[in-house]
Amino acid sequence: MSDEFVTITNLDAHYGDFQALYGVDMHIDRGEVVAVIGANGAGKSTLLRSISGLMPNGSGQIKFKDADISGLRADEIAHLGLALVPEGRQLFPSLSVEENLIIGGRLQRPGPWNLESVYALFPILAERRNSPSTALSGGQQQMVAIGRALMANPDLIMFDEISLGLAPIVIGEIYSAIPDVIGQGVSAIIVEQDISKALSISSRVYCLQEGRVALEGNSDTITREAISQAYFGV
Amino acid sequence: MDWVNAIIQGTLLGGLYALFAAGLSLIFGVMRLVNIAHGDLIVFSAYVCLTITTSLGIHPLVALVLVVPIMAAIGYGLQRGLLNKTLGTDILPPLLITFGLSVIIQNTLLQVYTADPQKLSAGDLEIASIKVGSLAVGMLPLLTFAIAVAVIASLQYMFYKTALGRALRAVSDNQEIAQLMGLDKRHIFGIAMALALAVTAVAGVLLGIRTSFDPSVGGGRLIFGFEAVIIGGLGNIWGTLAGGVILGVAQTIGAKIDPGWQILAGHIAFLVVLAVRPNGLFPRMSA
Amino acid sequence: MKNDNTVRFTPKNYVVTAVLLAIVTAALAAAPYWLGRADLRLAGEIMLYISLATLWNLLAGYAGLVSVGQQAYVGLGGYMLFAFTIFIGVPPILAIPIAGVIGALLAIPVAFLVFRLRGAYFAIGTWVIAEVFRLSFAQISALGGGSGTSIPASIVKSMAETRAARESLSYWLAFGLAAFIILFVYLYLRSSKGLALTAIRDNELAASSLGIDIWKTKFFTYVVSAALTSMVGALIFLQKLRISPDAAFSVNDWTAFVIFIVVIGGIGTIEGPIIGAIIFFALRETLADLGTGYLITLGVVAIIIMLKAPNGIWGILRDRFDISFFPLLYRVENQKQDR
């Protein structure tokens, strides 16, 4: 299918002797938002790390825009237009807010995102532009992490548990910005513990269980029963 | 007045030690690598300069135009070809490999240049001095100190105000996430080592003009640089200058008491700082 | 569920290795009766290097304390032997353990200082200490200051009447000390303290959460190896009969060579330093004409081994033949062959 943007075939991943992913198959179309849900340790973050190129010893194939990216280094994959908002935000502590954003855009890929448009999306960041990133609140740090990924003007953006550890009101604020974030033609993978959040924002959903795809379906037609069965394997 | 003189001489000597320390501090800051061969690379730079000055007949300070890029290129090659392979969570491989490198460099220099002491001749600069009151301050120590300040100020500027510095800090903070920004850490580490050895080249040439050197003196230069780093406080670029000055003053005051005490007094100053302020006198301050 | 696994220290070919070990030990103990004078001298030197390498390996390979300053204790031990025999008239053989005690006593304050430095900076810190020792002894004019001193002939004669007897005694002391140090390190690593050490090396965070006092365990290891290194140093200079600060605190002789021996033989194994010392001397005897080229070769070999075979020659042999003379690993064996 020409619309297939990301195609993952038979992906395995290991941490030393521990196998975290078993033969995962997955596809994301151009402009599509896909949610990945699952319990702790189901392999969600590992999946995003594999796609980003941070898991060196995996096997299987990952195609991104018709290029085989399995085996490429993370920095090579970044050049192709793939950005990750990592779990736990992971800002650069010795860089200021603005420097964190600038380094996100250092590849200078063309697109709508630059310092101005990120500041327009999250005005608070413009006020704190010269603060060290460590001085910000959790929610503000998450905005920097999202802004840093946007600055790359990616074709695929991946969010890893962006609501983790944030107050509900902040989560609402951040999620309300997501539709703006995922603009025209940009695809997204959203890893989320909060199932209803994940379903409301995505068009399709994958559920991982112990490193395997246990369920796949459309976000608006999938049933709660099917999810809980896939989630807990009962 | 003798004591004032000793303190001034020591302060100026501290500039040289700060140059020994700056490269060491830079690569530790970026990649947590401690290069045991650092001192031997300083001496190696002095020999490179010696070869250039004798074959081209130019002044050693002019020869810096060649020595600096040569050492930077060696640094980049060394990092990409060898040292990058050793970096990981285990500190043993980089330590032992740079130790092996130290022995290799020392003995190669011995093979090529023999154990005879050498010196870089800087002509009139070596004896020129300016009068400050009743004191005569040598031009060369003054120039060395000025160069040290300039080098450290440029490193500070590069680190905190340029895109390269941002990349170096990002890789130092978090290698994985930095890769997601499209930074190839192998290349960034190569650049960091190139910068460190460029500074080393300056240090080596100034050392060679100031005193005679032979292939065995590298270990001592590593130790002085290391002491300046620890006295000044890890991760603080200006701290290395302060550390170098304290070390230099301790040495000249020690030498004033008894010539045999010069180096020992420096070590003792270092041990006292280590005992009283283990994080150095000026621990990491964010710029 | 029935547990079919047994946990034991001893490898399968336990009897064979034990017999082999006994034969080698007996043959080495009898070396003065079957080796010529020059060879006996070389054998003694190998024993001393095996001792130094085993102790450095205990620090770097097991305790994670990578020191490049063990020459501090080699030189200290040597100087203490000279001081106690010359000034106080202590018999040389008795001065060796005294040197060990003094080494331990000095290692205590040194440890308090250098343990403040982490990882690689610890390494250079130990080097500074060795330099402080060297420069301090160079200031002591009673011991010859910077040019050093010799042991009077009368003291040498007091050890044994004939030269042959002295040489045999010298060898036996070196052999005995090496055997003692290997046995000590082996038993220490099998003790609960040694297991704690291995736990720390493998995962410092996990070890501390298990309640292991990391600082104390490392401290004890450092002090004990300083004591034993001082004894080796005393013995080294009892054979040389002459000491000077530069020889006593030489980073090349007592640390660089030792590091190469351990890295080539296999760091973190008991057998490694022994194999490494034998290879080191075999290379030295064959490549001696190369002069500095020999050291360059050694450095290159050590770097290649560190990159390509971090467990050294012994690691390669062990993996290929599944042998172990000094079993340290717990082996889990499944008695039922069909799982």
Half-sphere exposure of B262 (CA within 13 A, CB side): 13
For chain C, give me the number of helices (H) and strands (E)? 17, 4
B93, C306: Cβ pair inside 8 Å?
A: yes
Amino acid at A89: R
Say what the pLDDT of residue C337 is.
Answer: 39
CATH number, residue A110: 3.40.50.300
Residue-wise pLDDT for A93-113, tens only, equals: 999 999 999 999 999 999 999
Q: Is the pLDDT of residue B167 over 90?
A: yes
User: Which tokens belong to C213?
Assistant: 């006092």
Q: What is the DSSP string of B147-186?
A: HHHHHHHHHHHHHHHSHHHHHHHHHHH-HHHHHHTT--HH
Q: What is the ipTM of this complex?
A: 0.91
Two structure tokens written together for B169: 């800090």
How far, rounded to the nearest angstrom, does the alpha carbon of residue B81 sit from its chain's CA centroid?
A: 22
Whole-number Å distance between alpha carbons of A20 and B81: 33
Question: Which element (helix H / strand E) includes B254?
Answer: helix B237-257
In whole angstroms, give the CA distance from residue A105 to residue A100: 9
**pLDDT reported for residue C12:** 59
Would you call C140 helix, strand, or coil by DSSP? coil
**Could you give the CA distance from residue B69 to residue B75 in angstroms, rounded to a whole number?**
10
Look at residue C51 and tell me whether its pLDDT is greater than 90. yes
Over A44-81, what HEC string results?
HHHHHHHHHCCCCCCEEEEEECCEECCCCCHHHHHHCC
Residues C113, B91: C-beta atoms closer than 8 Å? no
Other C-beta atoms lying within 10 Å of the C-beta of residue C191: 11
The CATH number given to B2-276 is 1.10.3470
Distance from CA of B232 to the nearest CA of C (A): 14
For C5-334, CATH gives 1.10.3470
Question: Min CA distance, A185 vs chain B (Å)?
Answer: 21
Tokens 């609501």 correspond to A163
Q: How confident is the model at residue B65 (pLDDT cuts 50, 70, 90)?
A: very high
Of A75, A92, A106, Cβ closest to residue B169: A92
Mean pLDDT of chain C, nearest integer = 88
Q: Which of A5-14, A183-192, B179-188 has the lowest mean pLDDT?
A: A183-192
Chain A residue with minimum CA distance to B184: A75
Helix (H) or strand (E) holding A4: strand A4-15
Helix (H, G, I), strand (E, B) or coil at C175: helix
C148: left (phi over 0), alpha (psi -120 to 50) or beta: left
Phi-psi region of C5 (alpha: psi -120 to 50; beta: other; left: phi over 0): beta
Which of C296, C297, C300, C311 should be substituted to probe chain B, the one whose Cβ sees the most B Cβ atoms within 10 Å?
C296
**Chains B–C, number of C-beta pairs less than 8 Å apart:** 117
Q: Does the pLDDT value for residue C10 go beyond 60?
A: no
**What residues does each domain of chain B span?**
2-276
How close does chain A come to B189, measured CA to CA in Å?
A: 14
Please give, rounded to a whole number of angstroms, the shortest distance from the CA of C120 to a CA of chain B.
6
d(CA B142, CA B134): 17
What residues of B are in contact with residue C292 (Cβ under 8 Å)?
107-108, 110-111
B 31-70 residues with CB below 8 A of A?
Answer: none
- Provide the residue range defining the domain that includes A189: 4-232
What percent of chain A lies above the pLDDT cut of 70? 98
**Mean pLDDT lowest among B3-7, C94-98, C101-105:** B3-7
Out of B149-158, B274-283, C298-307, pick the least confident: B274-283
For residue B130, pLDDT over 80 is answered with yes
**Residue C256 predicted with pLDDT over 70:** yes
- Chains C and B physically touch (3 or more Cβ atom pairs below 8 Å): yes
Q: How far apart are CA B236 and CA B45, in angstroms?
A: 25
Q: How confident is the model at residue B36 (pLDDT cuts 50, 70, 90)?
A: very high
DSSP label at residue C324: -
**Which residues, listed in sequence order, are joined to residue A64 by a DSSP beta bridge?**
A6, A67
**Over 80: is that where the pLDDT of B189 sits?**
yes
The pLDDT, as a whole number, for residue B286 is: 40
Which run of H or of E encompasses A157?
strand A156-160
Kindly indicate the confidence band of residue A181, based on its pLDDT and cuts at 50, 70 and 90.
confident
- Do C186 and C248 touch, CB atoms closer than 8 A? no
- Give me the residue spans of the domains in chain C: 5-334
Whether the CB of C123 is below 8 Å from some CB of chain B: the reply is yes
> Which sign, positive or negative, has the C-alpha torsion B137, B139, B141, B142?
positive
**CA B48 – CA B68 distance, rounded (Å):** 10
**pLDDT value at residue B285:** 47
* CA–centroid distance for B4 within its chain: 26
Condensed to tens digits (0 to 9), the pLDDT of residues C325-335 reads 776 655 444 44
For A53, the closest chain B residue by CA position comes to: B180
